[in-house]
Chains A and B, each alone.
Chain A
Amino acid sequence: MSKLPKPDQLLQGLDLHRTPEKHWMDIKPDFSPGKYCYAVDPQVMIDMGRPNLGKWQPTDEKWPLPEDWKERLLKAIRDRMERFRSFKLFMDICVRCGACADKCHFFLGTGDPKNMPVLRAELIRSVIKGEFSFFGRLFGRVAGARPLTEEVLKEWYMYFYQCTACRRCSVFCPYGIDTAEVTIIMRDILHELGIALDWAMKPLRNSHFIGNHLGLQPHTIKENIEFLMSDIAEITGLNIEVPINKKGAEVLFVTPSADFFADPGIYTFMGYVLLFHHIGLDYTISTYASEGGNFGFFNSIEFAKKLHSKIYEEAKRLKVKWILGGECGHQWRFWHQYHGTMFGPFDYLEVPKSPITGTVFEHAKYHKAVHICEFTADLIAHNKLKLDPSRNDHIVVTFHDSCNTSRGMGIFEEPRFILRNVCNNFVEMPENTIREKTFCCGSGSGLNTDEYMEIRMRGGFPRANAVEFVHKNYGVNTLVAICAIDRATLTALMKYWVPDVVVAGVHELVGNALIMEGEKERTTDLRYRPLKGMEEEV
């Protein structure tokens, strides 16, 4: 692994308005340490029933490609154009106006023109012209056409895994061209040769065979939860049990597995549990469908369908009425925009209705899944929660809109409404960096791997820079996000760029603020940090 430059050196010489001398078609991808992800271990592809290239790395001069690699790729491209109108159309209608150019966080952090969304799409658009179009072949480069070569393939590997499918560019594109769609499809196409990332595929295999991306076996999940419950007992004096695989529960609660296991997701999980206990919700979690996130979505759509099929088998088996989803970004983009088509209709479930407030979640009447922030916001709006926001007075909070829930779902107000009710110090980041214009953490969509740290820190820079602004000006020390990947990646990002800021989930703050029946006087928050005014007691 390469040594990561210090923060004040990383972006030295970065100029967003200077372009290379050479034509982009002549620039080879730079596979130097820190700037690429490792290729997949062939065993993973074998286990998942996919082709593989054996043991190889993208740094290899000659990739071990099968003889017919070109035909296979071209066939796959044609196939995707027939199956996805989005892909075909996006290849046709771009006018290269450049409105997207400086909207990509990877461009802003690297200055690499191939990170301008328009050029990222040109990487494949040029090949479609060069291979399938008569005029493209005739005019070549002046028409933006080129043939498919091994160099092009290397470029695809580099840049379709240097996009986090955050969709920020699609907000600004006058034709709504969505680079995320192009990236998702191009990764799917690369999979047909067995080209994939190790870090994105191993969690997928875990999710497939074990049930969650961390590979937590059922007894481990239970032990971890018990461990977290003993923390809750210590902090609040309450003994709470979390129902596991309970038949006949009203609600199946599915959340990213990191919430069971990894800091800081565990505090968010403690928040969920306190909330459910507070309102007496009849729910269960599942150790079989123990992953709300979906690593298939970062690799190949078919895998994504395999993984989340489990949620619906589990809903049927446990005979629940509806499904509640935890705080997770791409989980919710995938649930919201794909589940209804892939797994519906859901006749065996009922239209979600809050057993506490009686609110019928009409917006989920077909899909039968509700976001935990929608659920909690409804509880607060109906005054069903006893809250003491001053228990979060020891922190100053800002909210990071996760890309997927923002631009692939549109959940902006619910988490803000909750935050305003559970804490007293909530500040927004600059307006062009939040809501639909929010910046990615820089490591989403399966790129959260250590060997890629330089690019991750560069890609996350625009986000970190906005956090730094509110940290310096308003003393923000807590970055809240409704995404499990954010909780992991922003933690690394903050450590690098803004070390005094920690990352939390919305429901961690809810858990702090909830006044539970029968609890003892709290002196610390869920992380054992003293509450304001309690410094002496601890």
Chain B
Amino acid sequence: MNLIFSLIVLAILILIPLIGVGVLGLSSLFAIFIPYLAFAIFFFGLIYRIIDWARSPQPYKITTTSGQQKSLSWIKHSRLESPASSWEVYLRMFFEVFLFRSLFRNLRADFDGKRLIYGSAKWLWLGAILFHFSFLVIMIRHLRFFVNEVPSFVQKISAVDSFFQLGVPPIYITDILILAGLGFLLLRRLVDAKVNYLSYASDYFPLLLIISIALTGILMRLYVKPDLYAIKQLTYGLATFNPALPKGNLSMLFYIHLFLVSSLAAYFPFSKLVHMVGVFFSPTRNMPNDNRMSRHINPWEYPVKYVTYAEWQEKFRDVLEEAGIPIDEEWTNVAQK
């Protein structure tokens, strides 16, 4: 049901440029206006989200301590799992954001007869790493479409990426890896009963969308081979805010690719995909475990009424006297003033 809904939405997204460009001939709308609009939504949407999170204070320092605290000098504390300084927090965040450290810990619980056993379960981590890093490399490769002179690091990355020199033009390794990663993540949602049960359409949709983007990209590179010169004219024009529709043929596949990318960009800030930015704000990870060393201020902390010693002593005066527990008139007098 959720998967079908996502597939329908995806089909509609593919039909829109097919009709818009193929039938109605609205090339400028799809090549210039929609990409600009989508990236404006992406950009301002993300800024809105960031401001929205930043506006809410983090009242308490609630680090998740997954390792030994810093306490006595002769006990080694865990720098990554229980960071005691900002520097160690940066390290922890680096490992979280770039290497998915917490996910790497993943275990799978199962019954072995009457015993619960826990096995290592790194497939999710692997799938996620494959997908995210391939995506990153592919985006870096795409820089060549947005700058006039292709920077040397982009060329180097592209060269390494096509290292195996299979086919003409050579297949990029990351093109295969991203499909492997995404395919695994999708399959997992379909096959694993628990994950399947908790998945919404909004979990399938981004996977399908990105798979479609990757596939249209690969098709263009290997089979359709549109006019690259025309595409670069367009993309360079877009990047330099000097947009113009090129004379050459952009090809239908390119319009679909571009429209899907635009959809992803516009969808991004308002979906679960904001985890990319949100992870930096995660209070259980981005705060040091130094609660007893330094003060953390909560801007809305307010005083509360509690049962004071004077009230308490008055209530229990008789039993206190009888039990020979000292009565403190001095303090209660001070408190009354």
B116 interface neighbour in A19, A108, A245, Cβ under 8 Å: A108
A411 interface neighbour in B49, B71, B281, Cβ under 8 Å: B71
A65 close to B (CB within 8 Å): no
Give the number of residues in B that approach A within 8 Å (Cβ atoms): 105
B229 close to A (CB within 8 Å): no
User: Do B198 and A337 touch (CB < 8 A)?
Assistant: no
Determine how close the nearest CB of chain B comes to the CB of A499; give it in whole angstroms: 16
Cβ < 8 Å to A, chain B residues 67-87: 67-75, 77-78, 81-82, 84
A118 close to B (CB within 8 Å): yes
Q: Which residue of A lies closest to B197 (CB)?
A: A19
User: Do A409 and B65 touch (CB < 8 A)?
Assistant: yes
Which residues of A have CB within 8 Å of B71?
361, 363, 374, 411, 414
Q: Which residue of B lies closest to A226 (CB)?
A: B323
User: Do A337 and B78 touch (CB < 8 A)?
Assistant: no
B301 close to A (CB within 8 Å): yes
A177 close to B (CB within 8 Å): yes
Cβ < 8 Å to A, chain B residues 39-62: 49, 52-62
User: Do A85 and B53 touch (CB < 8 A)?
Assistant: yes
A147 to B84, CA, bound (A): 43
User: Do A171 and B102 touch (CB < 8 A)?
Assistant: yes
User: Do A85 and B56 touch (CB < 8 A)?
Assistant: yes
Type the 1/0 row for B292-317, where 1 means its CB is closer than 8 Å to any CB of A: 11111110110011111100110110
A88 close to B (CB within 8 Å): yes
User: Do B116 and A462 touch (CB < 8 A)?
Assistant: yes
Type the 1/0 row for A400-415, where 1 means its CB is closer than 8 Å to any CB of B: 0000001111111110
A113 to B198, CA, bound (A): 8
User: Do B62 and A173 touch (CB < 8 A)?
Assistant: no
Given A367-B292, A410-B65, A96–B198 Cβ distance below 8 Å? yes
Q: Which residue of B lies closest to A208 (CB)?
A: B307
Which residues of B have CB within 8 Å of A96?
195, 198-200, 203, 272
B320 interface neighbour in A167, A219, A307, A408, Cβ under 8 Å: A219
B124 close to A (CB within 8 Å): yes
User: Do B292 and A340 touch (CB < 8 A)?
Assistant: yes
Which residues of A have CB within 8 Å of B70?
363
Q: Which residue of B lies closest to A209 (CB)?
A: B307
A64 close to B (CB within 8 Å): no
Which residues of A have CB within 8 Å of B149?
none
Among the 9-residue stretches B14-22, B105-113, B135-143, B155-163, the one with 4 or more Cβ atoms under 8 Å from chain A is B105-113
Which residues of A have CB within 8 Å of B337?
none
A336 interface neighbour in B105, B106, B292, B306, Cβ under 8 Å: B292
Which residues of A have CB within 8 Å of B296?
340-341
User: Do B110 and A410 touch (CB < 8 A)?
Assistant: no
B249 close to A (CB within 8 Å): no
User: Do B78 and A177 touch (CB < 8 A)?
Assistant: no
User: Do A381 and B326 touch (CB < 8 A)?
Assistant: no
B90 close to A (CB within 8 Å): no
A455 to B308, CA, bound (A): 38
User: Do A170 and B291 touch (CB < 8 A)?
Assistant: no
User: Do A143 and B202 touch (CB < 8 A)?
Assistant: yes
Given A99-B106, A172-B106, A410–B68 Cβ distance below 8 Å? yes
Among the 9-residue stretches A10-18, A69-77, A480-488, A504-512, the one with 4 or more Cβ atoms under 8 Å from chain B is A10-18
A-B contact count (CB 8 A): 312
User: Do B102 and A98 touch (CB < 8 A)?
Assistant: no
B100 close to A (CB within 8 Å): yes
Which residues of B have CB within 8 Å of A287?
320, 325
Given A177-B282, A413-B75, A408–B270 Cβ distance below 8 Å? no
A263 close to B (CB within 8 Å): no
Which residues of B have CB within 8 Å of A430?
118
Determine how close the nearest CB of chain B comes to the CB of A501; give it in whole angstroms: 16
A412 to B181, CA, bound (A): 37
A340 to B292, CA, bound (A): 7
A525 close to B (CB within 8 Å): no
User: Do B197 and A113 touch (CB < 8 A)?
Assistant: yes
Residue among A103, A219, A314, A461 with max Cβ neighbours from chain B (10 Å) = A219
Q: Which residue of A lies closest to B290 (CB)?
A: A363
Given A364-B293, A436-B67, A222–B323 Cβ distance below 8 Å? yes
Determine how close the nearest CB of chain B comes to the CB of A371; give it in whole angstroms: 8
A461 to B114, CA, bound (A): 11
Q: Which residue of A lies closest to B192 (CB)?
A: A98
A97 close to B (CB within 8 Å): yes
Determine how close the nearest CB of chain A comes to the CB of B147; give it in whole angstroms: 32
User: Do A306 and B304 touch (CB < 8 A)?
Assistant: yes
User: Do A345 and B201 touch (CB < 8 A)?
Assistant: no
User: Do A219 and B323 touch (CB < 8 A)?
Assistant: yes
Q: Which residue of A lies closest to B311 (CB)?
A: A209
A101 close to B (CB within 8 Å): yes
Q: Which residue of A lies closest to B64 (CB)?
A: A170
User: Do B309 and A178 touch (CB < 8 A)?
Assistant: no
Which residues of A have CB within 8 Å of B202?
142-144
B5 interface neighbour in A102, A142, A364, Cβ under 8 Å: A142
14 cross-chain CB contacts under 8 A: A82-B55, A84-B59, A85-B54, A85-B281, A86-B62, A116-B194, A171-B105, A174-B128, A175-B275, A219-B323, A367-B291, A367-B292, A409-B289, A410-B66
Q: A92-B278, A208-B306 are in contact. List 17 more A-B contacts (CB 8 A).
A: A94-B275, A95-B272, A96-B195, A103-B109, A119-B198, A141-B200, A143-B200, A167-B64, A171-B105, A178-B64, A288-B309, A317-B331, A337-B61, A367-B293, A410-B81, A432-B107, A436-B65
- Chain B interface (Cβ < 8 Å from any Cβ of A): 1-2, 5, 49, 52-75, 77-78, 81-82, 84, 96, 100, 102-103, 105-111, 114-116, 118, 124, 128, 192-203, 270, 272-275, 278-279, 281-285, 289-298, 300-301, 304-309, 312-313, 315-316, 319-320, 322-326, 328, 331
- Chain A interface (Cβ < 8 Å from any Cβ of B): 11, 14, 16-20, 24, 81-86, 88-89, 92-99, 101-103, 108, 113, 116, 118-119, 122, 135, 139, 141-144, 167, 170-178, 181, 208-209, 211, 217-219, 222-223, 244-247, 287-288, 302, 305-307, 309-310, 313-314, 317, 336-338, 340-342, 344-345, 359, 361-367, 369, 374, 377-378, 381, 406-414, 417, 430, 432-433, 436-437, 461-462, 465-466, 469
5 closest residue pairs by CB, A with B: A410-B69, A410-B65, A93-B278, A367-B292, A219-B323
